[in-house]
Structure 1
Amino acid sequence: MLLGLHGPTSDIYFVVYGPWWWKAREVIARAKTQGEIGHLDEATWRNIYSKRRPEIGFEEFMLHEKRKGNRGMIDGTYFDLLFTRDWSQIRAEAKGRPIKKGTVSARVVEADFAFDSPAIYRLDHPEVREIFCYSHTYAGQALPGEMVEAKGVLEETGEGLRLVVGTTREARGEWIRSLTLLESE
């Protein structure tokens, strides 16, 4: 609104820094249960899905998206809660060199920055230590302790291998899915 770029059909993006993001997500969850904030209807979800064009089916997309808790409706207007690191959380990440396409299955051990850009998932894996995800579609896709399957481009860094998802705008042929979540349904 500050730039004058908004209109009657504009979405709302709430940008929240660091640990406050997780608290904002809790507030949204509470407000949804109290009816103060609305859930997205199926038409809105289908619109989001068609815009994103993910490599996973609609039902799997919905399963992952609904538990993220970062979207809703306020008086008929769609909103998205966006995570940005607090200054104290910013550090230089090792630069990577792409080596080949790859798929990894591993347990997530840390997901503090799963909603950031890049979304970062630290892994318990003998070779691949982390997933970096530049696609908003797969941000927040997995929680600590969950098994994931991800496909993307393997990069070599000075600290080991990393899998990068979202190497192109639409991340064709790349994804992250929580196997734990899929098995629980």
Structure 2
Amino acid sequence: MKAADVFAKDFIETEEGLIFAVVAQGTEQNKVLCFLRYVYKTPCWIKYQTAEANIFLEQNYPAYLHYSTELDAHLHAVSADRIVNHYQPRQRLLQIMQAKRHDHVEQDVFQLCKWYQQHGLDLSQAGITGSILIGAQQPGSDIDLVCYERNLFHACRTVTQELISLGQLQALNGKDWLQSYERRSCALNLADYVRHEQRKYNKAMINARKFDLSFIDLSVNPKPVNYQKCGSITLQSKIIDDTRAFDYPAEYKIDHAHISSIVSFTATYAGQAINGETVEASGMLEQTAQGNKRLVVGSSREAPGEYIKVVQG
């Protein structure tokens, strides 16, 4: 396979029975940037969180540990010749939609996508990621839908809001929000977390099962830019361009004398603010050799102590 054909949200498997979630399009040093998410232990896949995945690789497969010079960050990486399976979200969703039989999780995926289609949405540029992508779903698994067209993603958000109003989908209740909050290890308090999330309409409930919508822009193949970390800072600034607020990574152009943007690599802060709002953001200040500066929120998936929150509408 060609590593260039691998995109964020894809999963890749190595011969050792390790499955990594891809975090960036393209390669660095001919390796796919990723994080270990599943390890095969007979008879099933075991999910690993970031910290335990790092320990596992350090002890067993240190060759997959990687320092990214472009991101100035430690993560994982797999060379193309080590990949034995490439799990692609669009292919998996198509498989579910064409299948004659489903388990309970797949049936909810099927029903949700049928409702989107009934509202005129073409899901040919949508896929399914997470545990369902590799067939490792459990009865209580969430649904992770990914859209590869910007207009489709925002249309899905609009239809989600409409389906909630019609009673076909349900908004998250207090217990659901608490579970989502605890899973994210969010630096915001619960009230602030829910306040921001409720207006995004990128998650809802179907048959008591949570689903999330995310967006990947396949048209973007950014040129490598090396950033150096300059230390942690907290700032307040007004959002002046939210076009890429739901991208991966999310990007917010800000009205600041020295820093051009806030970038988030954690999904918690995607779609967090809109044009005209003033945010407070805490994260890692990074700078290129040319002196361009950005504030990065989410230097790890859980992003402890880092956040973006609206402080003025």
TM-score, normalised to structure 1's length? 0.90
Say yes or no: does 1:125 pair with 2:241.
no
| Map 1:50-61 → 2, pairs under 5 A | 50-61=182-193
- Structure number with bigger Rg: 2
Q: Which of 1 and 2 has higher RCO (CA within 8 Å, sep 6+)?
A: 1
Stretch deviating more after TM superposition (70-79 or 110-119): 110-119
> Which secondary structure state, in structure 1, belongs to the residue aligned with residue 134 of structure 2?
coil
Q: Specify the code of the residue in structure 2 equivalent to 1:51.
A: R
1:93 deviates by 6.3
Q: CA RMSD in A?
A: 1.6
* Residue number in structure 2 paired with 1:3: 134
1:143 deviates by 0.7
1:92 deviates by 3.1
Structure 2: segments with no counterpart, 5+ residues: 1-131
Structure 1: segments with no counterpart, 5+ residues: none
Stretch deviating more after TM superposition (153-162 or 117-126): 153-162
In 2: Cα distance, 1:91 partner to 1:36 partner: 39
* Residue number in structure 1 paired with 2:76: none
* Residue number in structure 1 paired with 2:245: 114
> Which secondary structure state, in structure 2, belongs to the residue aligned with residue 179 of structure 1?
strand
Q: List per-residue Cα deviations over 1:116-159 (Å, max 9, x = no partner).
A: 22111111111110011112211111111111110111111236
* Residue number in structure 1 paired with 2:196: 64
TM-score, normalised to structure 2's length? 0.55
State whether residues 94 and 159 of structure 1, in contact with CA within 8 Å, keep that contact through their aligned partners in structure 2.
no
* Residue number in structure 1 paired with 2:295: 163
Paired residues, what number? 180
1:3 deviates by 2.9
* Residue number in structure 2 paired with 1:95: 226
Say yes or no: does 1:82 pair with 2:203.
no
Say yes or no: does 1:139 pair with 2:270.
yes
* Residue number in structure 1 paired with 2:307: 175
Q: Specify the code of the residue in structure 1 equivalent to 2:165.
A: T
In 2: Cα distance, 1:99 partner to 1:26 partner: 39
In 1: Cα distance, 2:308 partner to 2:221 partner: 24
In 2: Cα distance, 1:25 partner to 1:93 partner: 31
Report sequence identity in percent. Answer: 34
